[in-house]
A and B are shown apart, each in its own frame.
Chain A
Amino acid sequence: MKIVLAGNSVRTGLIKSFFENEGFEVLLAGTPKEAKASSDGYPVIIVGSSVIPGFLIDDGYAQRVIAGLEPKAPAVMLLDRETETPSFIWDLVLKRAVGIAAGKRHVYVLARSVRTEFPGLERSYSKARAHGVTFIKYEKVSVVQNDAVSAVMIDDGVMTLEIETPLLVDCAYTEDRSVLEYAEALRLHTYDGGLINADRWFLSPGRTSRRGVYYIDAGLAMSAQLEKILLSIADEIRLMAEMDVGPAAKIDPRKCAFCYTCFRLCPHGALYPDDSAVSMSVRHNYCSGCGICVSACPANAIELTERSEASGKRQTDHSKGTVAFCCENSAAIAARTVLPDNCVNVIPIPCGGSIRASQIAAALREYERVIVAVCNDGACKHFDGNKLASRQVERIREELASINIDPQRIMYIQLSHAMPNVMHNMVDNERNRAL
């Protein structure tokens, strides 16, 4: 099976050999453009290389530096200088501090706040304290560097302290921002200003917003951890290859007008203009069946292969005054937990973005009221599905108002399965209105 390693980190070679003896054929893509081209057929692993101070990673180098210092001089390790030092760097700092302190040298660790979030960090703390490492929480720090010795002035809000040290370690790490070009080329979704794998849906290290595209920051992960993440990615790729992916988009070539709307709106980059075909084609392992393309396609040329019966066919049930198009990731679950069956006809949809204006209009012919219930802003698994839904609702309301039908017959609500009562009182005050 072929995979593509994108990005040029110093450890790409190591990762390449790992995958080779996992039985994969590894292609290399040095630039975002190459990565984009090769991403058509094969899984892509983007290798980032953020830079951690060598003193913290390279034990040999650290030993040589420490050996060069005269015996009694204290060592100072400075954290949280510009940005908050992440907890995995704390783990490295504490291990290094214990190493230095073992050589009967006094070690100061200066930080704005203590991070305890990394597994096993407390253990490293107690070990460091046992070795006599001094922790100081500072509010302001200033450093005067003069050749061999640097003077560090610390102010912890109560008193100030000055330490002279020949070894001042700035524990800041520089993030690899070049990865964002790959993210753009491969149409990945970025979170919180640049994180491309804080994807809460797939919840495993290495995954990105797109199936089949993974991300490893080789600079950060230490060897043990790196191997664990590479292993889980290798398993994932093998699993994805043999697994049938569930509902995926299918395009009727006769109808496709090749207008690229689906290509542009697909949140997972699963559609690509396969030049041999007459129409847009779907990359099944990337498609997550959200249905946004189905709603967007002006030629009505796309459907989802098989809607799992759990989401149910559209039962028209006139006895109920209301129909609710519910996103299956939030509203449909909420409806199942709080709505008794008799008052609303719940129609699960894969994502708010798959709702079509014609579905809402058609529903209005059979029901007094139509509810479109989708995820909260920022929670949508397909990124902007809920916003697409609100625009469709807005447009239909305008059309209805122009033929003097009460636009409020359509309701748009945002919720998650963990706040189901929003669904409940929406239906209640609708029911009292009906009485």
Chain B
Amino acid sequence: MKSEHGDPMKNVLIIGGGLAGCTAARTLSGFDIPSVILESSPSLGGKVRQFGCKSGSSCSQCGVCAAGNLWDEVERDENITILLDSSLIDLRKEACGFSAYIKSGSDFIEKSFSDIVLANGFLDYASNAKTALDMDRSESILTGMDLERALYRRTASELFAEPPKKVAYVLCFGSRSVKEKANYCSRVCCGYSTRSAKVIRHYYPECEITFFYMDMQTTNALSAFMQDMNEPGIRFIRCRPARITVNGNDPEIIYEDSGVLARETFDKVILCGGIHPNSDNVTLSDLTGLRVDENGFLEYVKPPEKTHVYLAGCVSGPKSIRETVAEARDVGLRIAQISEQDGILA
């Protein structure tokens, strides 16, 4: 999206090369506003680039396709400079804008920017918890991200190496619990668990699927989708599993079902949930003056137009792909629309 009223003064630093950062960068580029993306990992795309397609017999509108071409567009866009393996060391407020000290690989760069967008995404609690429970060797315990990679690598005939007969989804794993310091709902797991369940049933129609859930967060659009869920072979048990253990290769879940303690083995257990704040949120808050809320996510103190520091994506709390893209595009629009004087919305 090229338009001619680009503003030579504007130059934006974007922390995080995931869906939010790239969308913001592309929107800014539409207004000929250059941006620099700092990506801590060696490759662009963050988590969403690894997400798999959740289309069973037909598309379940999960939103992954919104980012289909984004990565190529960013890599080909000369308005966007991508610095991989790099992070922000220090940031100083200048008369107009900021000067940032960036560690990129082994060398250090000092650059000035007019605005900053924090888009460093989230921490996947389940992946860490899996290592904590030393289950990462086991093939049959999957985190949300493992499931997404399996969906991504699937072929026309095969989703898992061997067809599972019993799959369990453990929802709110690492959310809505004071113990894991996450007293909030991660909001996306009900969506991707039910959608991926339909894909599993598409590949393996006889596979039995059980959901351990607290409250299904299905938006109205999804509730039409939920009707497909009450077919034989799909079970919903409203409880949080007491313990998940791995004996031999089959994971076992101990749970309480209407007053009775039950133990059941499954071929695959998928731990869904746990969008936790990114570890560098605290440092970013110190550098930019934004506040860390009670759950560890960042939030505005003063309106971003004043401070020229914007938030996009899960840095400010769990968001779906759709909301992340909308917010990132909104941030890009607002940076571009601000007139030069002093940040009053044009």
A residues contacting B by CB (< 8 A) are: 83-84, 86-87, 113-117, 119, 121-122, 126, 191-193, 195, 198, 200-201, 203-205, 232, 235, 239, 242-244, 310, 328-330, 333, 336, 375-379, 413, 415-422, 424-426
- Convert B48-64 into 0s and 1s, putting 1 for each residue whose CB lies closer than 8 angstroms to a CB of A: 00011101011111011
Whether the pair A376, B3 counts as a contact (CB closer than 8 A) is no
- What would 23 A/B residue contacts be, using CB atoms closer than 8 Å? A84-B218, A84-B223, A115-B215, A116-B176, A191-B221, A192-B225, A198-B61, A200-B65, A239-B3, A243-B2, A243-B30, A244-B2, A375-B59, A377-B57, A377-B58, A379-B61, A416-B55, A416-B65, A422-B155, A422-B156, A425-B155, A425-B157, A426-B156
List the A side residues contacting B153 at CB < 8 Å. Answer: 421
Most chain B beta-carbon neighbours within 10 Å: one of A87, A203, A376: A203
Given contacts A376-B58, A379-B59, A418-B53, contact A413 B217 (CB under 8 A): no
List the A side residues contacting B329 at CB < 8 Å. Answer: 203-204
- Residue on B with the closest CB to A332? B69
List the A side residues contacting B69 at CB < 8 Å. Answer: 328-329, 333, 417
List the B side residues contacting A203 at CB < 8 Å. Answer: 63, 66, 322, 325-326, 329
Whether the pair B61, A378 counts as a contact (CB closer than 8 A) is yes
| B84-92, B104-112, B179-187 - interface stretch | B179-187
Whether the pair B184, A378 counts as a contact (CB closer than 8 A) is no
List the A side residues contacting B219 at CB < 8 Å. Answer: 86-87, 117
Q: Which residues in window 205-228 of B have CB below 8 A to A?
A: 214-221, 223-225
Tell yes or no: B151 within 8 A of A by CB.
yes
Whether the pair A86, B184 counts as a contact (CB closer than 8 A) is no
List the A side residues contacting B121 at CB < 8 Å. Answer: none
For the residues of B in contact with A, the DSSP-based class is loop
Bound-state CA distance A375–B183 (Å) is: 39
List the A side residues contacting B72 at CB < 8 Å. Answer: 310, 333, 336
Bound-state CA distance A379–B62 (Å) is: 10
Q: A379-B55, A413-B156, A417-B68 are in contact. List 9 more A-B contacts (CB 8 A).
A: A113-B215, A114-B214, A195-B220, A204-B330, A235-B337, A243-B30, A375-B59, A376-B53, A421-B155
Tell yes or no: B300 within 8 A of A by CB.
no
Q: How distant is B196 from chain A, measured CB to nearest CB, in Å?
A: 12
Bound-state CA distance A87–B191 (Å) is: 15
List the A side residues contacting B65 at CB < 8 Å. Answer: 200, 329-330, 375, 379, 416-418
Whether the pair A243, B3 counts as a contact (CB closer than 8 A) is yes
List the A side residues contacting B3 at CB < 8 Å. Answer: 239, 242-243
Tell yes or no: B1 within 8 A of A by CB.
yes
Q: How distant is A205 from chain B, measured CB to nearest CB, in Å?
A: 7
Interface Cβ pair total, 8 Å cutoff: 143
Given contacts A329-B69, A378-B55, A418-B151, contact A192 B221 (CB under 8 A): yes
List the B side residues contacting A192 at CB < 8 Å. Answer: 220-221, 224-225
Q: How distant is A112 from chain B, measured CB to nearest CB, in Å?
A: 9
Whether the pair A329, B2 counts as a contact (CB closer than 8 A) is no
Given contacts A113-B216, A416-B68, contact A378 B59 (CB under 8 A): yes
Whether the pair A193, B224 counts as a contact (CB closer than 8 A) is yes
List the B side residues contacting A333 at CB < 8 Å. Answer: 68-69, 72
Q: How distant is B197 from chain A, measured CB to nearest CB, in Å?
A: 17
Whether the pair A195, B55 counts as a contact (CB closer than 8 A) is no
List the A side residues contacting B154 at CB < 8 Å. Answer: 419, 421-422
List the A side residues contacting B2 at CB < 8 Å. Answer: 243-244
Whether the pair A243, B217 counts as a contact (CB closer than 8 A) is no
List the A side residues contacting B17 at CB < 8 Å. Answer: none
Whether the pair A416, B184 counts as a contact (CB closer than 8 A) is no
- Residue on A with the closest CB to B51? A418
Whether the pair A119, B317 counts as a contact (CB closer than 8 A) is yes
Bound-state CA distance A415–B155 (Å) is: 10
List the B side residues contacting A418 at CB < 8 Å. Answer: 51-53, 64-65, 68, 151-152
Q: How distant is A237 from chain B, measured CB to nearest CB, in Å?
A: 12
Bound-state CA distance A422–B63 (Å) is: 19
Bound-state CA distance A415–B57 (Å) is: 11
Whether the pair B53, A239 counts as a contact (CB closer than 8 A) is no
Bound-state CA distance A201–B325 (Å) is: 10
Q: How distant is A225 from chain B, measured CB to nearest CB, in Å?
A: 13
Q: Which residues in window 74-109 of B have CB below 8 A to A?
A: 76
User: Contacting B217 at CB < 8 Å: which of A117, A330, A417, A426?
Assistant: A117
Closest CB pairs A-B (n = 8): A379-B59, A116-B185, A378-B59, A418-B53, A377-B58, A376-B55, A378-B58, A416-B53
Whether the pair A425, B156 counts as a contact (CB closer than 8 A) is yes
Tell yes or no: B333 within 8 A of A by CB.
yes
User: Contacting B1 at CB < 8 Å: which of A198, A239, A422?
Assistant: A239
List the B side residues contacting A419 at CB < 8 Å. Answer: 52-53, 55, 151-152, 154
Bound-state CA distance A244–B157 (Å) is: 43
Q: How distant is B41 from chain A, measured CB to nearest CB, in Å?
A: 18
List the B side residues contacting A195 at CB < 8 Å. Answer: 220-221
Q: How distant is A113 from chain B, measured CB to nearest CB, in Å?
A: 4
Q: How distant is A255 from chain B, measured CB to nearest CB, in Å?
A: 31
Whether the pair B215, A235 counts as a contact (CB closer than 8 A) is no
List the A side residues contacting B330 at CB < 8 Å. Answer: 204, 232
Bound-state CA distance A204–B27 (Å) is: 13
Given contacts A198-B221, A328-B69, A329-B68, contact A122 B183 (CB under 8 A): yes
List the B side residues contacting A191 at CB < 8 Å. Answer: 61, 221
- Residue on A with the closest CB to B219? A117
List the A side residues contacting B187 at CB < 8 Å. Answer: 116-117
Bound-state CA distance A150–B59 (Å) is: 46
Bound-state CA distance A418–B68 (Å) is: 8
List the A side residues contacting B225 at CB < 8 Å. Answer: 192
Bound-state CA distance A428–B113 (Å) is: 49
- Residue on A with the closest CB to B293? A123
Most chain B beta-carbon neighbours within 10 Å: one of A239, A415, A422: A239
User: Contacting B66 at CB < 8 Å: which of A84, A201, A239?
Assistant: A201
- Residue on B with the closest CB to A86? B220
List the B side residues contacting A232 at CB < 8 Å. Answer: 330, 333
Q: How distant is B59 from chain A, measured CB to nearest CB, in Å?
A: 3
Bound-state CA distance A243–B185 (Å) is: 39
Bound-state CA distance A328–B217 (Å) is: 33
List the B side residues contacting A375 at CB < 8 Å. Answer: 59, 65
Bound-state CA distance A162–B21 (Å) is: 52
List the A side residues contacting B156 at CB < 8 Å. Answer: 413, 422, 425-426
List the A side residues contacting B151 at CB < 8 Å. Answer: 418-419
- Residue on A with the closest CB to B184? A122
Bound-state CA distance A328–B223 (Å) is: 31
List the A side residues contacting B220 at CB < 8 Å. Answer: 83-84, 86, 192, 195
- Residue on B with the closest CB to A246? B1
- Residue on A with the closest CB to B56? A376
Bound-state CA distance A122–B318 (Å) is: 12
Bound-state CA distance A322–B152 (Å) is: 24
Bound-state CA distance A420–B64 (Å) is: 13
- Residue on A with the closest CB to B333? A235
